[in-house]
Amino acid sequence: MQDQATNTTQKRLRILGDDEIEALYGRPHFTDDKRLEYFALAPTEKATLEQLHSIKSRIYFILQLGYFKSHRLFFVFDLPEVEEDARYIQGQYFPNFQLDDLDITKVTRLRQQGIILGLCNYRSCDAEQRQALAAKARQAAMVSAKPIYVFRELMHYMTEQRVVVPGYTLMQDTVGQALTHEQERLSTIASHYLSPSDVENLHHLLEDSPGLYEITQLKREPRDFSASEIKREIQRGAQIYLRCGKVILAFGPCEDVRQANGATALAQKPVAAR
């Protein structure tokens, strides 16, 4: 079991650098101005605060709420880690209270998080949300095989859906599984629908015949919108479709198919020279 866990860890994608992980998942460090902004309480938040019994739990609640407003994440912390923020809250709301620690039970901490989710109209990333996230990742993997693209699409999706971002390890696994799923999907399609000549055409795109891979030439962007460049784009689209039209169609409708179809149709029309 331990070897299996080690193999899983080794296979995880490196999507973000250490600094990026810290920026995304690290606890915020507030300046005085940020404390004034994020630890301010709206009337509904003040009313919720009154429901908590001890002042210590109220201070912890305000800390959790402020950090969530800033990063849309929850953190576990002790007094030494957040002392400046805690002393600010104590002086602002409970000036007569002597704060010695921030020890609260896990049950209390999780209950506070549930209250904060309700106040901010957010949802936790539960089993149902993780399934939706996996489906979104597979959809994104059909557009691009770059892990960072899939990751960013998931982050955008969770922001839109107001879902708390899960841990980085879960995100790594979700992206990796989506890319593996897409690779297997394309391999299945290729084995069922492509003839040996189709496979040969694909291999031809990767031949380094004139010093530049043909697929690289096909991906070249036009220099401008002159008549000669438009003609070249039309010819390029027709070339893609004639060489790989069946391949493109086999892998499903996408923007490349529409462009190739359009280029083939346009190839039959003259382009007026300037």
What is the chain's pLDDT, residue by residue, as a tens digit (274 residues)? Answer: 444 444 444 478 999 999 999 999 999 999 999 999 999 999 999 999 999 989 999 999 999 999 999 999 999 999 999 999 999 999 999 999 999 999 999 999 999 999 999 999 999 999 999 999 999 999 999 999 999 999 999 999 999 999 999 999 999 999 999 999 999 988 888 777 777 877 777 777 666 555 545 555 555 666 677 888 788 777 777 766 665 655 555 555 444 433 433 333 333 344 444 3
**Alpha carbon distance 269, 274 (integer Å):** 16
**Alpha carbon distance 49, 145 (integer Å):** 46
Q: How many CB atoms lie within 10 A of CB 78?
A: 11
Q: How many CB atoms lie within 10 A of CB 38?
A: 19
Tokens 């999780």, located at residue: 110
pLDDT at 136: 97
> Helix, strand, or coil here: 123?
strand
pLDDT at 251: 59
Task: Find the farthest-apart pair of alpha carbons in the chain and give their distance in angstroms, rounded.
Answer: 85
Tell me the whole-structure pTM to 2 decimals. Answer: 0.73
**Alpha carbon distance 20, 23 (integer Å):** 5
**Alpha carbon distance 248, 264 (integer Å):** 14
Can you say how many angstroms the Cα of residue 15 is from the centroid of all Cα atoms in its chain? 10
Can you say how many angstroms the Cα of residue 77 is from the centroid of all Cα atoms in its chain? 26
Q: Tokens for 1, please give them.
A: 């079991």
SS3 breakdown of the chain: % helix, strand, coil, rounded to 5? 70, 0, 30
pLDDT at 215: 55
> Helix, strand, or coil here: 163?
strand
Is the distance from CB of 206 to CB of 165 less than 8 angstroms?
Answer: no
With residue 128 as reference, give the H or E element that holds it.
helix 127-141
Q: Tokens for 207, please give them.
A: 């031949």
Residue 237 to residues 221, 259, 272, Cα–Cα distance (Å): 12, 7, 19
